[in-house]
Amino acid sequence: MLEASHGLIAITGAAGLVGTGLRRQLREQGYRLVLLDRKPITDCTPEEQAVLVDITDQAAVTAHLAGCDAVVHLASCTTDAPWAEHVRLSIEGSISLFEAARAAGVMRVIYASSHHVVGYHPRSLVLDEHAVLKPDSRYGVGKAFGESIGAMMAYKYDMRVLAIRIGNVNTKPIDRRRLGNWISWRDLGQLVSLGITHPSLRFEVVYGISDATGRDYDNQAAYALGYRPQDQSEPFEAEVLALDPVPVQDSPQARAPSEITKGGVFSDNEFTGSSERLLPRSSH
Ligand X SMILES: NC(=O)c1ccc[n+]([C@@H]2O[C@H](COP(=O)([O-])OP(=O)(O)OC[C@H]3O[C@@H](n4cnc5c(N)ncnc54)[C@H](O)[C@@H]3O)[C@@H](O)[C@H]2O)c1
Question: Residues interacting with ligand X, by CB under 6 A?
Answer: 13, 15-19, 37-39, 54-56, 74-76, 78, 89, 93, 112, 114, 166, 168-169
Residue 118 Cβ, how far from ligand X at the closest point, in Å? 12
C-beta of 284: minimal distance to ligand X in Å? 29
Q: In this complex, which beta carbon is closest to ligand X, that of residue 10 or of residue 272?
A: 10
- Chain centroid, CA 159 distance in Å: 19
Length of the chain: 284
Minimum distance, C-beta of residue 7 to ligand X, in the bound complex (Å): 21
Q: Which is nearer to ligand X, 39 or 277 (CB)?
A: 39
- The rounded distance, in Å, linking the Cα atoms of 29 and 116 is 29
For ligand X, the closer CB: 52 or 246:
52
- The closest residue (CB) to ligand X is 16
Q: Nearest Cα to 132, choosing from 149, 146, 145, 120?
A: 120
We find the least distance from the C-beta atom of residue 153 to ligand X, in angstroms, to be 17
Cβ 163 to ligand X shortest distance, Å: 11
CB 164 within 8 A of CB 227: no
Q: Which CB, 19 or 135, lies closer to ligand X?
A: 19
Active site residue 139: yes
CB of 120 to ligand X, least distance (A): 16
Q: Which lies closer to ligand X via its Cβ, residue 16 or residue 229?
A: 16
C-beta closer to ligand X: residue 59 or 254: 59
Q: Of the residues 139, 207, 217, 227, which is catalytic?
A: 139
Active site residues: 139
